Structure 1
Amino acid sequence: MSDVVVTNNPAQDRYEAHLDGELAGFAEYILSGDLIVFTHTEVDDKFEGQGVGSALARFALDEVREGTRRVKPQCAFIKSWIQRHPDYADLITRGEHH
């Protein structure tokens, strides 16, 4: 199985995951001041169960950690991923913890 390759595509305001050169999924965001608001994550049905969503979340949140932004996870997938990986909870804005 190939590795998922994730890149930030700021022109489209999203992180994109490719598998075997094909777009497998994306995580859309809005930049607002010192926040990055994740609004929607989608994985193509063809690539379900291959770690695409998790790769997207990990890459995006690792990149956020390198900067100064905080995360506001409006997207249910990103929110639940962070809940399953509490070592990323420190990136969430106050008032977003559940």
Structure 2
Amino acid sequence: MSDFQIRREESESRGRYVTVVDGVEAELTFSKAGTGMIIADHTGVPREIGGRGVGLALAEAMIADARAAGIKVMPLCPFVNAQFKRHPDWSDLLP
């Protein structure tokens, strides 16, 4: 895991992981699909903070929470989908 301070915000149907780096906000958003799955639908890391591993840190926070909660993750976001391909140890979380 990274040293970024990441917080999870959520409502009944949606949520996001968010961090602020050098005053710039980055997020990974998700939708809830029932009680057993979330759909990772968007990762936004502004260019000013790109290349520092911020997106991966957001994805890792989501993965850790999904594992702890025993839920699956559908990676519709292209970035999250690419991370699933790079991290075969995450495959147990795929629906």
Instruction: Bin the TM-score by the shorter chain.
Output: 0.7 to 0.9
| Residue in structure 1 matching 2:62, options 60, 64, 84 | 60
Deviation for aligned residue 1:19: 1.9
- For 2:32 and 2:41, the matched residues in 1 are separated by 11
Report if aligned partners of 1:24, 1:52 keep a CA contact under 8 Å in 2.
no
How is 1:1-98 mapped onto 2 (pairs within 5 angstroms)? 3-11=3-11, 13-20=15-22, 22-33=23-34, 34-93=36-95
Report if aligned partners of 1:25, 1:44 keep a CA contact under 8 Å in 2.
yes
Deviation for aligned residue 1:13: 1.5
Percent of residue pairs identical? 30
Structure 1 runs, 4 residues or longer, greater than 4 Å off: none
Give the TM-score normalised by structure 1: 0.84
Give the TM-score normalised by structure 2: 0.86
Q: In structure 2, give the amino acid aligned to 1:8.
A: R
Deviation for aligned residue 1:69: 1.3
- For 1:71 and 1:58, the matched residues in 2 are separated by 12
The alignment partner of 1:13 has SS state of strand
Report if aligned partners of 2:29, 2:40 keep a CA contact under 8 Å in 1.
yes
- For 1:58 and 1:87, the matched residues in 2 are separated by 12
Unaligned residue ranges in structure 2 (runs of 5+): none
Unaligned residue ranges in structure 1 (runs of 5+): 94-98
